[in-house]
Structure 1
Amino acid sequence: MQCSPDFEPRNRNMKRSFLRGHDENYLITIDYGSDTDIDMDWTPISETPNTVGGPSVGSQEAEPGVTIKDNAGGSTNDDSEQPSSDRPDLMVSLASSDKSPETRTHDMEDDDTEGVPTIIEKKFLAEKIVNLKTPSERVNFIKTTVSESLPASLNDLQQDHLDRLARAWAFKTVAKYQKCARRMSFFLDKEKQYLDGYFVLPKNFFPSERTKRRRVEELEKSLSPEDPGDLVHAVSRTLNKHGHPEAARIIKKSLSPSKQQVILDSLSKPSTTPTPYTAEEALSLILDLGLTQTQYQRLREGANQHGCPLYPSYHEVQKCKISSRPPADELCVTESSASIPLNSLLQHTASRIVNMQNSVLLQIFASQHICEIKATLICSWGFDGSSGQSRYKQKSSTSFDDSSIFATTLTPIRLTAANGTVIWNNSSPQSIRFCRPLHLQYIKESQEKILNEQKYVEDQIAVLDPIEVFVDLGKTITINFDLRFTVIDGKVLSAICGVKSSMCCPICEAKPSTFNSIENIGKGLFTPKPGRLNHGISPLHAWIRLLELCLHIAYRLDIQKWQARGPVLQASVKKRKEEIQQLLLKEMGLRVDFPNNTGSGTSNDGNTARRAFRNYEEFAKLTGLDVEFVRRLWVILVALTCQLPLNADKFGEYCFNVVQYYLTLYQWFPMPASMHKILIHGKDIINSSIIPLGCLGEEGGESRNKMYKSDRLRHSRKISRTATMTDIFNRAMDTSDPLLSSLHLDKRARYRKQLALPQEVLHMLECPSVPTTQEFGDDDQQVEPDENSLDYENEIELENEVTYYRSNSNKSNKASRVPLPCPATGIPKVQYIPLENQLVSLNLDRPP
């Protein structure tokens, strides 16, 4: 298009059309004075210097370019800006701008715009933006790509500057692409020199401190140092003018002495950027709180609406659920039962523990310079029946009673290497969160069923093979299994031992008539039968049975006879029983010997027994029993429930003294089999167990029975009995996963009671050797229990007691802790803290 120098465009649209078809023989300079007045200067190309618009070095024909100049004549960036309708104060010159790299560098040096090179090539940007449809998409792509390559984040002014640079470069690049008929190969070949190099930013894009001082030097000279208000006023006006009213308000407030400290405090506080939950943490939270899918999604939506995306999608949580269960194809489900092979359950449990303790295993590999570890996973297992389940109105192909459930469970206790190193130790072995289901059946508990289930599990134990778990590159751990049949009660023990009468001892088969004779101890009458010391002590039922012993003695104190025969004696016993029941209910809030609403069992449970023995003085006063006798029973029960190793000889000696004391007081009341088992055979049972008896209890299995009822109600599908049974089993598998259960273990431990151990129990413990250089003082010392300690008061067993507290919380002697040497990795450390009371307890640090 050929245009004469006297041509004047009438409006902006004509002006832009004219610019796109300008005469290449002239340099056209347009001054945007206003929308109506447009001044144009025509200068022949031959009269312009090469540094402004001359033809490029080595090119046959120069292409028109764009250079943005401000009113002062300074150039901001050659080859990078375009005419802008919102900047009428700019001078736009069109000339040839396709210079060689050397020429471009020379121009930038002349214009004081030394570029900051990045990893973004012009060719890369051009290939991307020419395929985008709208100008805004092109500009946003350039801004995002360049911003990610910069070492620091940009402020608002720099963002605006980068927006103008990106808009100009995108406008020019697309124009060149269109002139090449939108052919990429032709465009890359023709504009090779234009696309050579990197996208650069002007030197003043990140001004140095020296540059900033030079800019404000004149302003500092003009303002009086005694009056900083002028400077603040000037800065505020400038910020308001450029669209930053919030920053202007902050600058004004900074002069107020009352606001200065507030601003300084807010700057000194660390940033609190929320960290989202991982899928495992979210699933652990769901299981801890018992949330349904709908409840979790509403919780997630509420957090997202408040701009706090903490929770992952439920789809990710479902994926995590699959990893917390053994393979689904190995699960066998019917309308009334669900089971999984023991080998699959152990393999999955062991792999999850190894995954959780990966860092510990890598330390062992590095310290011992080995590539393979042989270890043993100790577990406890057993079964128990529970009545009082809900009866559902669902179709069934076979008739069965779903009001009773018979559950076989397994609990991992400890993973130990062959050299004695403890790799993992379950710090809450009596929690339902580690009690894994093996076989669930809706059937009544009977002796026949007990024996059949024992054979069913023992047959699988006999064919167990070691498993090999991959830890790291070239490093594996081979795990064997040691299963202890201890999650049982007295009824199951009598059934598997073949003892027909519950009044006889299941271990030595002695009769009640021989229990109250000390002379029989040395005659071999109470010798244990082979294999009957490996079933633990059943600590939970020990609390209940000894509570019933105290109550039955208290009912008969007036007659002092074991059997109340005749209407007179029976009426006396009945009257005293009612009096004691009312006194305990009124003074201590305990309901004892009241029948349950389900028609089976009484109100005597673990929580009732623990509360009664904990307040032994008041309990003995209300029942008329000897205070010292009740206190000694409490000491024995605490020792059995304690999850610390006991010295068998010291425990046996203490129990023998209790037997003598009992016979001096209540010789007329024959010792029950449960008490005989504890006092006579407790020492032998401790010697036969490599794990503390408190870790091998049955509380987890008893508590899990309550969970089956609630899971069936809230977390299962009711479309069919098979679907319901599948959901109950999977829910139990999720809530008992070792990895998930360990995530929030410390938080759950805060709500458990932390009580000090009696002094007599401390004397029975197998404590590590104390350094001789450390003095611990006299017996009037106490250890402050920690929130992570393994207390004997596990309140997960029943749901009717929800008041939790911590006793002996004196922090005054916290500095006197003396850590004892840890014999192996993962073994709990014992710490003593001397206090002023007459009780001493132990504080256990959790293993890694």
Structure 2
Amino acid sequence: MDLSEPGTSGVKFLSRKDIYMIIKESQAPNFDKKLDLMVETVINKFCKSEDRKSWKQKISLIKHQFKTRWQAAHKKEVVFESNNKDWLNGSTSLQLPITETSTGRPKKTFAESSERSKRRKTEELRLQEVEKLSYATHMKLRASGNIDASNVVKDLIKSPSRGQKYRSAIKKFKQVTCHQLSTLDALSMYVEAGLTRSQYEIVRSSNKKFYPCYSILQKAKNECYPIKESYRVTATCAEINLQDLLNHTASRLIMHLKEVMAAIKDEDRQQMELICKWGCDGSQQVRYKQKFENEMDSDANIFQSSMVPLQLVYGKNKNVLWQNPTPSSPRYCRPIRIRFLQESADITNQEIQYMNSKINALECTETQGAKISHTMLFTMVDGKVCNAATHTTSTMKCYICGATSKEFNNLTKRREVRAESLQFGLSILHARIRFFENLLHLSYKLPIKKWQLRQQADKDIVQQKKKEIQNKFRNEMGLIVDVPKANFGNSNDGNTSRRFFADHQLSASITGIDVNLMFRFKIILEALSSGHKINVEAFENYARETEELYVQLYEWHPMSPTIHKILRHGAQVISSALLPIGQLSEEAAEARNKHFRDYRLNYSRKFSRESCNLDVINRLLLTSDPLITGLRTESKKKSKPFHKETLDLLLSAEPTKSCTDSDSDVDIISDDDV
């Protein structure tokens, strides 16, 4: 913008309209500041000498004219422009000093001068005190509108030592580079946080350079699934071929153990074995508003089979290369087959026969220079599955020895044990719930001391006692016991039973059960769920003493089949188990029932049942992938040490190691079969 108009020598005519545009376009906070910036602009435009003071005095007249007219317009821009329309179209003459032209090399501005010239020009100025120069710089920067720079100089005036902090901060800022999160780490976060695609996109929008694109994440997700040919998905079934599932699991596990595998000899790599546990279980589900082609089909129940890898061993001596850190957690629980069927003895036997045929046909997995055989342990089961597998028709009958409820309290009578029935383990989760329920129902009948209620008077007494105990648990421990839940099951779940035995003294005072008996039950359950190897002889003696104490105190009330199984046959089951009995529990499969409901509701497409089932089984595979799960950082949780009596029953356990009835990251689940 050319502010000047042609004039005589020594006279400049400044366009008022152009000067007003400078004022109007200024970013200063008020009109006075805008006038100051206008003066600086005009001086910088025409001042070619160092006599800035005389220039400022001459231009102050223009500044005064604008200020007077602005105040007359009541500081309103529209009024100012309307009242001074003709005046703004004119110009103001400015008498300037005549500068003589000089010959020789043209003069440079200070900014264009060399370092030597700058030192020479500022030599006299630098004789001033540092405080004066700093303050002058601070005020000059503020007057020119550089507020941030002015504040920095002001901070340095107050505390010169801050200069080092400013330099360090700037240097650190320049050195910081934003590395993109690796694909596996991003996928691990995606799984841990339970994100959907849309939720991940929202998170990524906060820093697109840090989080990889979802298309990259999708490719990594596809690597977490077995080959497409291994899938069989229909409206009522979703299945992965067992051989392909084990091949994929072993391959991902070897990738996770890549650094460890480098130290293993080639000979030992050819003699590796993956030990897994598997099981089947049924649960009720929420029905969806979708049609089936067959009207007889229903999605009110599912029956699913799943497996969990426990150990990877190598060599002739079966050295442990990898141990599942959370064998009772659903984090490693992989789906095999899911069907929309209601659990029954026939369905269970069909599933067992189908799985046995698949297991018998298994071949070794060859991956990344390793040859891995597979061992499947059928231990993720509950009482109903065990009864169906052994063709035991009564729930009040022991499937191991065939004893009935009338014989449970008879310590002198011993039946022959069926060896094939010992393979199922002890169903730790359901055992805890059954122990809890047996003591609870026993406490209801303490006033009459009768097992069977045949008279109405006895029923009324028991019902009144039940309400009294329920109220005490609610008021003193915050527990809701023996109450039906909406849709299915009741409140006697794993969480309730854990809290019941955790404070055994208070539970004994509420129920009226002998505190010593309840404590012994607690120790037995603690030892079984510890995951450590158990001293079979010590456990057998402790269980026998507990059994004798129960019969001595409550001979009139037969113990439940689960209590009979653990106290009478627990030692035999433990001695026949390939791994510590606590690692063979069914908690992971039970937790997967809850996950199925969640994934079906929140992570699946609903426009077709096939797509819905495919999305659910893929989510189950993704959340149980060994490589992704291996990246998970273990959370530190408060834990309690083992009781002294528990340590006496274990072969190898550290006194400081926690004893939580299951692993640290096991989901607390409800028992739908109660």
Give the alignment partner of residue 760 of structure 1, picking from 645, 650, 655.
645
Aligned pair partner of 1:566 in 437, 455, 460 = 455
Using a 3 Å threshold, how does the CA distance of structure 1 residues 633 and 244 change in structure 2: closer, same or farther?
same
State the partner residue of 2:156: 254
Question: What residue identity is the alignment partner of 1:481?
Answer: H
> Counterpart of 2:513 in 1: which secondary structure?
coil
Displacement of 1:480 in angstroms is: 0.8
Q: 1:399 to 1:512 in 2, by over 3 A?
A: closer
Which of 371, 374, 382 is the equivalent residue of 1:478?
371
Q: Report the Cα distance in structure 2 between the residues aligned to 1:691 and 1:242, rounded to whole angstroms.
A: 80
- Verify the 8 A CA contact 1:253 1:259 in the aligned structure 2: no
2:138–2:154 CA contact under 8 A, matched in 1: yes
Distance 1:215 1:716 in 2: 75
759-768 or 660-669: which moved more?
Answer: 759-768
Alignment of 1:518 onto 2:420: no
Please give the alpha-carbon distance, in whole angstroms, between the structure 2 residues aligned to 1:221 and 1:667. 110
**1:327-351 CA deviation, whole Å, 9 max, x = no partner?**
1222001110011110000000000
- State whether residues 505 and 511 of structure 1, in contact with CA within 8 Å, keep that contact through their aligned partners in structure 2: yes
3-state SS of the aligned residue for 1:376? strand
Unaligned runs of 5+ in 2: 1-44, 47-103
1:488 is aligned to 2:381: yes
User: What residue number does 1:797 align with?
Assistant: 668
Q: 2:247 is matched by which residue type in structure 1? A: Q
Map 1:396-407; keep pairs closer than 5 Å: 396-407=293-304
Counterpart in the other structure of 2:339 = 441
Aligned CA distance change for structure 1 residues 222 and 762 (closer, same or farther; 3 Å): farther
CA contact 2:290–2:609 (8 Å) conserved in 1: no
In the TM superposition, residue 506 of structure 1 has moved relative to its aligned partner by 1.0
* 1:380 and 2:277 are equivalent in the alignment: yes
Check the 8 A contact 2:493/2:670 in 1, yes or no. no
* Counterpart-to-counterpart distance in 1, 2:491 and 2:472: 16
Q: CA deviation at 1:461?
A: 0.7
More helix per residue: 2
Among 538, 542, 547, the alignment partner of 1:654 is 542
Indicate the SS of the match to 2:275: strand
Residue aligning to 1:674: 562
Partner residue of 1:451 out of 335, 349, 363: 349
| TM-score, normalised via structure 1 length | 0.61
The equivalent residue for 2:90 is none
Alignment of 1:20-35 (within 5 A): none
Q: Distance in 1 between the 2:593 and 2:424 partners?
A: 20
Structure 1 equivalent of residue 40 of structure 2 = none
Residue 389 of structure 1 pairs with residue 286 of structure 2: yes
Match of 1:467 among 355, 360, 365: 365
Q: Shift in Å at residue 742 of structure 1?
A: 2.5
Amino acid at match of 1:375: M
Q: Secondary structure at the match of 2:424?
A: coil
TM superposition shift of 1:664 = 1.9
Deviation at 1:637, TM superposition (A): 1.1
Cα-to-partner distance string for 1:51-104 (whole Å, 9 max, x where unaligned): xxxxxxxxxxxxxxxxxxxxx99xxxxxxxxxxxxx9969xxxxxxxxxxxxxx
2 CA distance for matches of 1:766 and 1:216?
85
Q: Say which is worse superposed, 346-355 or 263-272, in terms of deviation.
A: 263-272
| Structure 1 residues 481-506: Cα deviation after superposition (integer angstroms, max 9, x where no partner) | 11100111001001101212111111
Q: CA deviation at 1:793?
A: 6.4
Is residue 263 of structure 1 aligned with residue 165 of structure 2? yes
Q: Residue 520 of structure 2 contacts residue 546 of structure 2 at CA under 8 Å; is this kept in 1? A: yes
1:61-100 equivalence runs, <5 A: none
In the TM superposition, 1:307-318 aligns within 5 A as 309-318=209-218
Partner of 1:361: 261
2:471 counterpart residue number: 582
Between stretches 377-386 and 620-629, larger displacement belongs to 620-629
Aligned partner (choices 222, 237, 246) of residue 322 of structure 1: 222
Is 1:607–1:795's contact at 8 Å kept on the other side of the alignment? no
Q: 1:287 aligns with which of 177, 186, 191?
A: 191
What is the identity, as a one-letter code, of the residue corresponding to 2:165?
I
Contact 1:406 1:442 in 2 (8 A): yes
Q: What displacement does 1:267 show?
A: 4.4
- Which residue type is aligned with residue 530 of structure 2? C
SS at match of 1:533: helix
Unaligned runs of 5+ in 1: 1-33, 36-71, 74-86, 91-156, 161-203, 205-211, 471-475, 771-781, 801-848
**What secondary structure is seen at the aligned counterpart in 1 of 2:251?**
helix
Corresponding residue number in structure 1 for 2:587: 699
Out of 623, 626, 641, the position equivalent to 1:735 is 623
Contact 1:434-1:736 at 8 Å conserved across structures: yes
Q: Give the fraction of aligned pairs with identical amino acids, expressed as a percent.
A: 32
Q: 1:799 to 1:625 in 2, by over 3 A?
A: closer
Given candidates 442, 451, 457, the residue that maps to 1:553 is: 442
**Aligned position for 1:615:** 503
Residues 1:371 and 1:630: Cα distance change in structure 2 (over 3 Å):
closer
SS at match of 1:731: helix
Query: Does the 8 Å contact 2:156/2:163 carry over to 1?
Result: no
Closer, same or farther: CA 648–227 of 1 in aligned 2, 3 Å = farther
Tell me the CA shift for residue 239 of structure 1.
11
Partners in 2 of 1:651 and 1:754 — Cα distance? 24
Q: Which amino acid aligns with 1:354?
A: I
Q: What TM-score results when the alignment is normalised by the length of structure 2?
A: 0.76
| Residue pair 1:755, 1:791 contacting (<8 A) in 2 also | no
The CA distance in 1 between the partners of 2:411 and 2:172, in whole Å, is 70
Contact 1:390 1:709 in 2 (8 A): no
- SS of structure 2 residue aligned to 1:650: helix
Instruction: Give SS of 2:423's match.
Output: coil
Shift of 1:538: 0.5
Give the 3 Å change call, closer, same or farther, for CA 377–387 of structure 1 in structure 2: same
Q: 2:430 pairs with 515, 538, 541, which one?
A: 541
- Number of residue equivalences: 567
Match 1:632 to one of 499, 520, 529: 520
Kindly provide the CA deviation profile for residues 204-255 of structure 1, in whole angstroms up to 9, marking residues without a partner as x.
9xxxxxxx9x999999998989954478689989999999986675455334
Deviation at 1:627, TM superposition (A): 1.2
1:709 counterpart residue number: 597
* Contact residue 226 and residue 248 of structure 2 kept, 8 A: yes
In structure 1, give the amino acid aligned to 2:258.
N
Deviations 1:171-217 (A, max 9, x none): xxxxxxxxxxxxxxxxxxxxxxxxxxxxxxxxx9xxxxxxx9x9999
Per-residue deviation, residues 99-124 of structure 1 (Å, max 9, x unmatched): xxxxxxxxxxxxxxxxxxxxxxxxxx
**Equivalent of residue 328 in structure 2, options 395, 411, 430:** 430
Shift of 1:444: 0.5
Q: Which has the higher contact order (CA 8 A, sep 6+)?
A: 2
2:188 paired with 1:299? no
Cross-structure match for 2:656? 783
- Name the residue aligned to 2:571: 683
- 1:371 Cα deviation after fit: 7.8
In the alignment, residue 277 of structure 1 is paired with which amino acid?
Answer: L
Q: How far 1:696 sits from its partner (Å)?
A: 1.1
Mark the CA change 1:686 to 1:567 in structure 2 (over 3 Å): closer, same or farther: same
**Aligned residues of 1:430 and 1:697 also touching (Cα < 8 A):** yes
